[in-house]
Structure 1
Amino acid sequence: MAEKTYPMTLEEKEKLEKELEELKLVRRPEVVERIKIARSYGDLSENSEYEAAKDEQAFVEGQISSLETKIRYAEIVDSDAVAQDEVAIGKTVTIQEVGETDEEVYMIVGAAGADAFAGKVSNESPIGQALIGKKTGDTATVETPVGSYDVKILKVEKTA
């Protein structure tokens, strides 16, 4: 069975690599030191500092494992390889909900780079799935858990 790939821009992969380095070189040693200090308090059966540090260690190790997998199976997407007016990872798209006047601008990114507050939506999100492969002037139907709505693609640009 083929491993799942993680489509992303080169910039997204580099960001993940920096995050992984931070976890391995800073966070992991900090947690190990906290465990060592907590152990010095004696009886581990009633040592809340020790339990908290072990929980944090498990969390950090889980993050490291997840990032290593995403980096290992990263599929770098070249937005220049698709038509200039086609929505793809690495493109910025301006849309308008049909029947509305407000425009919305989103950068399409891989799941690892999603940040709704910064206007970065994942290719795996409902809006990302609806827009990928569409072109300027097309209408796309966005399927959400609470219903669907149509958006018109006004502009597609390569993300700077």
Structure 2
Amino acid sequence: MASHQLSQQAFDRLKAEFEDLSTRGRIEVADKIERARELGDLSENGDYHAAKDEQGHMEGRIRQLEHLLENAEIIAPPPAGVVGPGSVVTIVYEGDAESDAERYLVGHIEEKVGDLDVVSPTAPLGAALIGANEGDWVAYDAPNGQLRVQVLKVETV
């Protein structure tokens, strides 16, 4: 089974979310369903259907978290200035001005912080960036041909 590479911080956050949803979350949804049932006719009971829908979404998230945690590989942060899973990288495309630089988090989508876009280490751009140092130029194959980017800055989350 494929592992999901996660930082210790992301793993701990996901584990806390799993524990919260599988305890408090389930109890709250069960209470909502019970209160809605007490209102009578379930066929036209919007509160009941909303609570059941919420329960379905929550159970799906619990299963997703369970799978992620069971198959997680906790990775060490990369050395300072080197792009690795969990790095926030600022890049600029060849031919663009530095003012057009873009910032990405390189890693699993569950590592997402703030409004940063996430690029997977297995995506063409992410794979090209892994191991690069600040100042390096890397190339990757895109649908429209090969693109080159320069790594301007590497930060750890």
Q: TM-score interval w.r.t. the shorter chain?
A: 0.7 to 0.9
Alignment equivalent of 2:86, drawn from 86, 90, 95:
90
Structure 2 unaligned segments of length 5 or more: list them: none
Tell me: CA distance 1:135–1:123, structure 2 relative to 1, closer, same or farther (3 Å).
Answer: same
Partner of 1:76: 74
- Tell me, yes or no, if the aligned pair for 1:35 and 1:54 is still in contact at 8 Å: yes
Answering whether residue 38 of structure 2 is matched by residue 40 of structure 1, we say: yes
TM-score, length-scaled by structure 2? 0.80
- Tell me, yes or no, if the aligned pair for 1:85 and 1:135 is still in contact at 8 Å: yes
Structure 1 unaligned segments of length 5 or more: list them: none
Question: CA–CA distance in 2 between the matches of 1:117 and 1:150?
Answer: 24
CA RMSD between the two structures: 2.7
Question: CA–CA distance in 1 between the matches of 2:13 and 2:121?
Answer: 17
Partner of 1:100: 96
Identity %: 36
Question: CA–CA distance in 1 between the matches of 2:55 and 2:145?
Answer: 40
1:113, distance to aligned residue in structure 2 (A): 1.3
Aligned positions of 1:1-160 closer than 5 A: 3-80=1-78, 86-101=82-97, 102=99, 103-115=101-113, 117-118=115-116, 120-124=118-122, 127-136=125-134, 137-141=136-140, 143=142, 149-157=147-155, 159=156
1:115, distance to aligned residue in structure 2 (A): 4.3
The total of aligned residue pairs comes to 154
